[in-house]
Amino acid sequence: MAKYLAKRIFYLVLTLFIVITVTFFLMKLLPGTPLTNQAKLSKSQIALIYEQYGLNKPVWQQYLLYLAGAVRGNFGTSFQFSDQPVSYLLSSRIGPSLQIGLQAMIFGVIIGIIVGSFGAMKQNTWVDTSATFVSILGISIPSFVLAVLLQYYLGLKLGWFPIAEWGGFIYTVLPTLALGATPLAESARFVRTEMVDVLSSDYIELAKAKGLSRTGVIYHHALRNSLIPLITIVGPLAVNIMTGSMVVENIFSIPGIGEQFVKSVLTNDYPTIMGLTIIYSFMLCVVLLFTDILYGIVDPRIRITGKAN
Amino acid sequence: MADTVKLPEDSFKPISADDRSALDSEKIAAPSLTFAQDAWRRLRKNKGAWISLIVLAIVFIMAFGSIFVSPHNPNAVNPSYANLPSKIPGIGINGFNGTLVQAGQRVDAYKQAGASNLHYIMGTDYLGRDLFSRVLYGTRISLIIALVATLFDLTIGVTYGMFSGWKGGRIDTIMQRIIEIILSIPNLVVIVLLILILKPGMTSIIIAIALTSWTNMARLVRAQTMELKEQEFILAARTLGERPMQIAFKHLLPNLSSVIIINTMFTIPNAIFFEATLSYIGIGISSPQASLGTLLNDGQKNFQFLPYQMWWPALVLSIIMLAFNLLGDGLRDAFDPRTKE
């Protein structure tokens, strides 16, 4: 296990290194400077600003400096907000994004499990049909459409929740619902398929034959075994939430990193875009690593086959 | 005892070919079906997938037919008819009869604009452009982007996956690592970076989506190829001295086709979704071009007062996504009946 872990962490570091390198050189390909009005500035002023951003050095030196900084969590200075280090900008914004993302994930997966297992238990009845319908609908409606609808109907018309801004828990409800729809749908679909499989297996028959109650069979035998593979879709769901958060945070004007990403893209704030790309990639890598390890712990069969390879 | 059993003489004659075909026990009840026919039959049995196929056909015909026959010019600006709600002749339900709530009262917006004899099925936008024509136009752009991106995705993904799976060993490991690195950044982030480099526009959106979405296809094709290449018919082909390229086209591709088709059905809605998201953020298609994403973005600004401007594109987008998802599910069951129960 320790060897496997070390190997995985090595790959994580390697991946991040490649991501940093590629984004750095991609950004160097882009036109644009931190100067807002180049024509009005004198040569010495431009030189001064370039020096402030470290743009006067040759590219390879900039790259090494950036790499050295990135290791320590320093991603340079933002072009958009002068004198603001990217790391400060992002660390003050990552909280809301993490909170909404985690809430959406937990909400979506839990409700998804309930919907999916009801669908499997009442297979081929109206319960199953409506569960399938809900999950297909959740996959088909883009989160930003859902966000606007929720904002208007639950926020403005009914006035149950604040329509935007960032405050206490109540402010997170609508964004969580909007972002959680896809995880809900995906996990419901997944759990249903798995559970239908599990319910027809021999050990369920045995448990029934031994006279266990229906809920006992479902809870102790069917549900547990059908939930294990669910861990594998947590990674893709995390990607989905990250992608969705960019638009949803914008709609609800939440001061998160998704909103900042869109803002930075529209204002060509390259250092911030780079920092955010690295942070997104880091979070995703950690989620993938975490789910892989968790899967190995929960399902011993994976560990054994992993060793055989 | 000479008690012989009398058997008719003709019982011991071989029956003629005509008689044999008339025998019930020898009859093959149904004509044997090819794989494609069988899949088609199963697909038609699946109500959701079948309806989706018809819906998609209608959407395609309407979207691409609007090049030739469009109710109005999608770009014709007519400020005096701006923001008219949808009005479908013969339907009196509020919301479809051209009335609007203004200052707490329901008024006929068409009368106010002096256009009582006109009717816009989905209404008009803030510049007086016919929303129905624009939705058709936007659907067309969205579909073109999705289809072209998917085409690239098919070629890159299938080739990459087949090569990786066929070669195996070290090459395979390296190629899989590359995919893992691409997958370690959220796709949308990569797409946004690529669009920034390529300058926003339709071509760069297509390239960006194509360059990022092939990974899933490549992985599935690789797994399937690895399974296939161990089988006897591939071994036979190799023994007979067929070149790898020939094997790939003659033996691997036909066997991979179901995986490829199913995955395509999930790639297309993904591409549509990415395009809509990009346009919604504001780095996608720029005006006067329109896509479903830009229409949603425009509509969202006025949602409180003119909700129909967002409802229509949202409805069309959701229907397209829904249809592709259902069709994908149906095709999966049709090609691989084992997956269902």
Q: What is the pLDDT of residues A161-185, one digit of tens each?
A: 887 777 777 788 888 988 999 999 9
Q: Give kind and range of the element (H or E) at residue A29.
A: helix A2-29
Our CA-based measurement puts residue B264 at a distance from the nearest CA of chain A, in whole angstroms, of 16
The pLDDT tens digits for B91-149 are 666 666 667 776 667 777 667 766 666 777 777 777 777 778 888 888 888 899 889 98
Q: For position B329, what pLDDT does the model report?
A: 83
Distance, CA of B206 to CA of B275 (rounded, Å): 9
pTM: 0.81
**pLDDT bracket for residue A140 (50, 70, 90):** confident
Our CA-based measurement puts residue B43 at a distance from the nearest CA of chain A, in whole angstroms, of 18
Q: For position B340, what pLDDT does the model report?
A: 47
SS3 label, residue B102: strand
Distance, CA of A8 to CA of A14 (rounded, Å): 10
Query: Residue A151: left if φ>0, alpha if ψ -120 to 50, beta else—which one?
Result: alpha
B277/A144 touch (CB, cutoff 8 Å), yes or no: yes
The DSSP 8-state label assigned to residue B192 in this structure reads H
> Which of B180, B196, B272, B297 should be substituted to probe chain A, the one whose Cβ sees the most A Cβ atoms within 10 Å?
B196
**Contacting residues of A for B184, CB less than 8 Å apart:** 15, 19, 281, 284-285, 288
Q: For position A73, what pLDDT does the model report?
A: 76
The pLDDT tens digits for A243-270 are 888 888 888 888 888 888 888 888 888 8
- Domain A95-255 part of CATH 1.10.3720.10: yes
Average pLDDT over residues A101-105: 92
Average pLDDT over residues A194-219: 84
∠A235-A238-A239 over CA atoms, to 5°? Answer: 95
B282/A266 touch (CB, cutoff 8 Å), yes or no: yes
B108 pairs with which residues across the strands? B99
**Mean of pLDDT over chain A:** 82
* A61-75, A271-285, B7-21, B304-318: the lowest-pLDDT one: B7-21
Residue A108 pLDDT greater than 80, yes or no: yes
Higher-confidence residue of A146 and A298: namely A146
Q: How many CB pairs below 8 Å do chains A and B form together?
A: 102
- Residue A74 backbone phi and psi in degrees, to 5: -110, 115
Locate the domains of chain A by residue range.
1-93+270-309, 95-255
Do A229 and A193 touch, CB atoms closer than 8 A? no
Give me the residues of chain B with pLDDT under 50, please: 340-341
Number of other residues whose CB lies within 10 A of the CB of residue B306: 20
Residue-by-residue DSSP string for B14-79: PPPHHHHHH-STT--SSPPPPHHHHHHHHHHH-HHHHHHHHHHHHHHHHHHHTTT--SS-TT---G
A77 pairs with which residues across the strands? A85
Residues 6+ apart with CB under 8 A from B333: B42, B46, B49, B339, B340
